[in-house]
Amino acid sequence: MFKLCVLILVMSIDKKEHIMDVAVALFAEKGYEGTSIRDLAHEADVNIAMINYYFGSKEKLFVALLESKARYMRERIDAVQNDASLTELEKLNQIIDGYVNRFLSQPAFHRVLQQELLVTNREILHQNVIELFTKNTQDVVSIIEKGVRKKIFKKVDPPLLFASIIGTINQVMLSRSMCNILMNKAPGTDPYQDPELKKRITQHIKQLVQDHLLIQPALQKQK
């Protein structure tokens, strides 16, 4: 009874968004192809026809969903990059903070994105995400290279270091049960809710990057 009331309230605000929210959750759980419109309609408590009425088709719903939620990805690194008052390491640290925050704040959507990237065939998203990723990679790489030129950083493999940063976060988010194992939590719980997790991940990555980059880590630590 209470659930019904909440549902009606939520739906009255914006039915389209309600459908999209349910879609993200279902796609994350079953995959895009694995989720039928009937599943979605039932779970969102709307008629099957409403989905095509609002979005046109299943694929268009998917695209709408991506464009709506992917905005949090588009926030570029420009701001950080052009801030002259920051050292290269500080820039990297801020970028790490940004990625961890964004990725962990929307685990379901993140999962949908990852799924889509692993399906080479479907071109809808691939192109867009790749493009964004290219830009981000180049930005981070150029920051690292600048640090290397300044002799602040050791000579490293910049693109692969970027892969390590992103890859660490992705790995933690790959599977809920995997995350629970990594975090030494009970198998059933939802690890992404824990604010401690975010802190732990950022700390680890920052330390990892710092150790890898700085020529005299001991000295830097003291400052």
Residues 141-180 that bind its own copies (CB under 8 A): 156-157, 159-164, 166-172, 174-178
Smallest gap from residue 43 Cβ to DNA (A): 12
Query: Which CB, 146 or 212, lies closer to its own copies?
Result: 212
Helix locations, the chain, DSSP H: 2-13, 15-30, 37-44, 48-55, 58-69, 71-74, 78-81, 88-105, 107-118, 126-149, 158-173, 176-182, 195-213, 217-222
- The partner in contact with residue 79, picked from DNA, its own copies, none with C-beta cut-offs of 5 to 8 angstroms by kind, is none
Name which of 25, 205, 207 is nearest 101 in CA terms.
205
Residues 44-83 that bind DNA (CB under 7 A): 46-53, 56-59
Q: How many CB atoms lie within 10 A of CB 211?
A: 11
For residues 40 and 24, give the distance between their C-alpha atoms in angstroms, rounded to a whole number: 10
- Which residues lie near DNA (CB under 7 A)? 15, 35-39, 46-53, 56-59
- Which residues lie near its own copies (CB under 8 A)? 28-31, 33-34, 111, 114-115, 117-122, 126, 130, 133-134, 137, 156-157, 159-164, 166-172, 174-178, 181-184, 200-201, 203-205, 207-208, 211-212, 217
